[in-house]
Amino acid sequence: MKHFRKIWSESLNGWIVAHKELPRWECYKLMLDEHPGIDVSYTAFKNQCSRLKITKSNPHPPRPQRPLYSEHIKKGYLRIKIAQPNVWMSKSKWVYLESHPWEYEDIMTHRYNFIFLDGDSRNFAPDNIAKVPLNIMGIFCQLGGTEPGRADISRTRLLMAELKKKNLDRGEELGLTCCYGHARQFRDEMNRKARAYQNRPERKKAASESRKRWRQEHPEEYQEKLKKQNEWRRKNGSSRRKQGLKTQ
């Protein structure tokens, strides 16, 4: 690239233009034979022909456009062509729109998932396709998602997911929820699960062994920590006992 403009001089460009009727590869070989001091690759030669605008047009005709309502498979799901020249939509969404035209504006302005209630991604019966908001999809999957061959169970799980979301929304308004990862949970429920996890015998044993190993590896830090705990008990233990006597 440092000597790019020195290679493609006006005389060499004129030679290329004068031999533009030759096939590209033959022209390249002839150029190297008549200009032995030039060291350029075939790709660089083709790029220079493009810059000189002497490339030949593509002999292949453009691929004809597929007609409306053509179908093709992408990532395992069927898509359908809904407008020219190249506007495609998942067939499940298209079927839902065709059977629920009054929801067109809402569906086109918000994001939804369109699921097959019986788990069959080729069953496009209108009553087998359900619209699921993105903020419910995660809860729906936690509850089991779609049940193969059982659309009634899938509908029940979908209603349960909607109910759980409403409960979480109300709990958030009252300050009863907290975020755990990317999901919301009721604080009491999360604490109950945490206590149940920590109270498992194998978990208690592992925690006890970990503390014992830490005490053996850090004896000085353990003694300092124990000293601070004893000082805190001396300062706060008597005041707590006095408060207990007053309440009695």
Residue 98 has pLDDT above 90, yes or no: yes
Q: State yes or no: pLDDT of 109 exceeds 70.
A: yes
At residue 20, the pLDDT reads 85
Q: Is residue 84's pLDDT more than 80?
A: yes
pLDDT band at 241 (very low <50, low <70, confident <90, very high): low
> Higher pLDDT residue, 239 or 29?
29
Q: Is the predicted pLDDT of residue 65 greater than 80, yes or no?
A: yes
In the predicted structure, residue 25 carries a pLDDT above the cut 70: yes
How do residues 198-235 score in pLDDT, each as one tens digit?
Answer: 889 998 899 899 988 988 888 888 888 888 888 888 88
Q: Which residue has the higher pLDDT, 103 or 181?
A: 103
Phi and psi based region of residue 40 (left: phi greater than 0; alpha: psi -120 to 50; beta: remaining)? beta
